[in-house]
A and B are shown apart, each in its own frame.
Chain A
C-alpha cells in the first residue's frame, strides 16, 4: 500500500474546497468589481 495514500484524499478535499472558495469569491467579486468600476468612471467627472 502506498504510504502516501491515506493523506492524499484529505489533501484533494482541501484543494477542492480551496477551489470552491475561489469560485465563490469570483461569483460575487466580478459583479462588485463591475459596479465599482462604473462608479469610478462616473466619479472621474468630478475631477475634470
Chain B
C-alpha cells in the first residue's frame, strides 16, 4: 500500500481502510450524517413559533408576523436545493471521497442553522431562506449522497441492507429533531421570542458536532477489497451489470429516466399522504362522522403522523433489505402494484369509518414510500455499476425535488376543488387518492420497462475511483 501519511487529512487516500477493517463501522458513520440531516422532515415543528415571533401567541399572530406560507417556503427551498446540490456535487464527491463531502455537508447544515438564527433574531425571512433553505439545503444534498457509494462498495453482497440502514437514518432524523427542537425552544423561551433563535444556534452546534463522528470514522475500501468469502453471484440476473457507466453517460440511457419516473411517482404519491396526514384523519374521522366525542382529535392526529414517520423509517430498512433477496425491479413492482390497491382502498375505508384498518393501510403505504427511497441506490448500482453510483444517485434525486413541489400541489388543487363542490370528510380526499393510485400505475409501467443498460454506455477498460470525477 502506498504511503499516504503525508497526504492532507481530508484527502481521499487518508480514508482508505487498512486490511482487516471492520466494515460494520461504516453504517454508523453514514447514520451519523443521515440522522442529522433528516431533521429537515421535522421543520414543521418551527411553523407556529416562527409565525408568532412578534405576537408571542401562536393563536393570535400580530401584523408583520410571518405567515404559514412564508415559513413553509423555507422547507421547499431546502428540498429543491437538496436535489440540485446532490446532482451538482455528485461527481465532486466521487473524486474527493466521502470524508471531505461529509465535512462540507456538516458545515453547510450546521452553518445554515446559525445563519437562520440570525434571520430569526433580525426578523428577516430572507436570511432564514438563505440559511436553512439555501445553505442548509446544500448540506442536505451533499450529506444525503455522501455515504451511499461508499456503503455499496463495502457491502457488494448486501447493497440493499447497507443503503437501507443509512437512508433509514434520514427517516429517523425527524423523530430526533422534532422533540429536540421542542425541548430546546422550551428551554430558551424566557431569553428570546418563542426560544427559536437560541434553539437554532444550539441545533446548529449539536448537529455540526454529531456529524463529525461520521466525518472522521468513514473509511473507503481499497480498490481490490472484497468481503471475506464473497463470490459475486453466478445467478443470472440480466439487470445486474458487471460493467461501469459514468454519471454523464447514465443520464443518456432510457433506464436512468425510467428510474427517474419511478422515483417521481413513488415520492409524489407518498407526499400526498404525508402532506395531508393530520387534516386527513381529523376530517375523515371527525365528530360529525363518528359521533360526538368519538372523532380523532388534534393530539391523536399528531400520533398518526408520528406513526407514519415510524413506518417511513422501518420501511426504508425492511423493503430495501428484502430487495437483496427478490431483486430491485420486483420490489418496485410490489410498491406500485400493492400501492395502487391500497391507495384506492383508502377512500372506501374512510367512507366506512374503519379507523384501525385505515391506519394500518396508511402505514403500509408510507413504509413503501420510504422503501422506494432506500432501494434506489442499490437499483442504480445494479444497472450502472458502482463506479459513479453516488453521482448518478445525486442526479436521480432531482426527481425528489420535483415531487416535493408536484405532490403538495396536486393534493391542494384536488382537495380545494372537492371542498368547493361541497364535499366533506373522506369524500373531500377521494380524488387525491385515486389520482395518486393513477400515478402509481405510471410508476409500475416505468419500472416494468426497465431492462439492462446497453453495453455501449459502459466505460471501456478498468476504471479507477480517483478518475471518477474527471
Chain A residues in the interface with B (C-beta under 8 A): 10, 13-14, 17-18, 20-21, 24-25, 27-28, 31-32, 34-36, 38-40, 42-48
> Is B423's CB within 8 Å of the partner chain A?
no
B213–A27 contact, CB under 8 A? yes
**Closest partner residue, chain A, to B172 (CB atom):** A32
> Would B35 and A36 count as touching, CB distance under 8 A?
no
Q: Which of B176, B177, B179, B304 contacts A43 (CB under 8 A)?
A: B304
On whether the beta carbons of B303 and A36 are closer than 8 Å, the reply is: no
Q: Kindly list chain B residues whose C-beta atoms are within 8 Å of the C-beta of A28.
A: 28, 31-32, 35, 169, 213
Of B28, B174, B176, the residue contacting A34 (CB under 8 A) is: B176
Residue pair B179, A24 in contact (C-beta under 8 Å): no
B296 at the interface (CB under 8 A from A): yes
Q: Measured between C-beta atoms, what is the minimum distance from A32 to chain B in Å?
A: 5
Q: Is there contact, CB below 8 Å, between B25 and A24?
A: yes
Instruction: Decide yes or no: A35 and B175 within 8 Å by CB, A43-B304, A46-B303 being known contacts.
Output: yes
Which stretch (B16-24, B56-64, B326-334) binds chain A?
B16-24
Q: Which residues of A contact B20 (CB under 8 A)?
A: 10, 13-14, 17
CA gap between A14 and B22 in the complex, in Å: 8
B284 at interface (Cβ–Cβ under 8 A)? no
A32 touches B175 (CB 8 A): yes
Q: How far is the CA of A5 from the CA of B458 in the complex (A)?
A: 49
Determine if B304 and A17 form an interchain contact, defined as CB atoms under 8 angstroms apart. no
Q: With an 8 A cutoff between CB atoms, is B191 at the interface? A: no
Q: Tell whether B309 is near chain A: CB-to-CB under 8 Å.
A: yes
Q: Which 5 A-B pairs have the closest CB atoms?
A: A35-B175, A46-B303, A35-B176, A24-B28, A45-B303
B300 proximal to A (CB < 8 A): yes
Asked whether B175 lies within 8 Å of A43 as measured between CB atoms, the reply is no
Find chain B residues with CB under 8 A from A21 CB. 22, 24-25, 28
Question: A46 to B175, Cβ gap below 8 A?
Answer: no
When chains A and B are docked, how far (Å) is the Cα of A21 from the Cα of B310? Answer: 25
Q: Tell me the bound Cα distance from A42 to B25 in angstroms.
A: 32
Please tell me if the beta carbons of B296 and A18 are within 8 angstroms of each other in the complex.
Answer: no
Report Cα–Cα, A5/B38, bound state, in Å.
47
Mark B298-310 against chain A: 1 for CB-CB distance below 8 A, else 0: 0111111011011
In contact, A24 and B175 (Cβ under 8 angstroms): no
**Residue numbers in B under 8 Å from A32 (CB-CB):** 31, 35, 169, 172, 175-176
Shortest Cβ distance from A25 into B: residue: B28
Q: For chain B, give the interface size range.
A: 35 or more
A10 to B179, CA, bound (A): 44
13 contacts between A and B (CB under 8 A): A20-B22, A20-B25, A24-B25, A24-B28, A24-B29, A24-B213, A28-B28, A28-B213, A32-B169, A39-B306, A39-B309, A44-B303, A46-B304
Interchain CB contact under 8 A, A46 and B169: no
Query: Complex Cα distance A26/B29, Å?
Result: 12
> Which residues of chain B come closer than 8 Å to A35, judged between CB atoms?
172, 174-179
B217 within 8 A of A: yes
- Contacting residues, chain B, for A25 (C-beta < 8 A): 24, 28
Say whether B205 faces chain A, with CB atoms less than 8 Å apart. Answer: no
Contact partners of B172 in chain A: CB under 8 A: 32, 35-36
Q: A24-B217, A46-B296 are in contact. Are A38 and B179 (CB under 8 A)?
A: yes
Query: Which chain A residues lie closer than 8 Å to B177 at the CB level?
Result: 35
A38-B176 Cα distance, complex, nearest whole Å:
8
For B174, give the chain A residue with the smallest CB separation: A35
Please, which residues of chain A bring their CB within 8 A of the CB of B307? Answer: 39, 43, 46
CB atoms of B176 and A31 under 8 A apart: yes
Bound CA span A43–B299, Å? 9
Is B359 an interface position by the 8 A CB rule? yes
Q: Mark B151-177, 1 if CB is under 8 A from A, else 0.
A: 000000000000000000100101111
- B contact residues around A34 at 8 Å (CB): 176, 179
What distance in Å separates the Cβ of B225 from its nearest Cβ neighbour in chain A?
Answer: 15
How far apart sit A27 and B310, CA to CA, in the bound complex (Å)?
A: 20
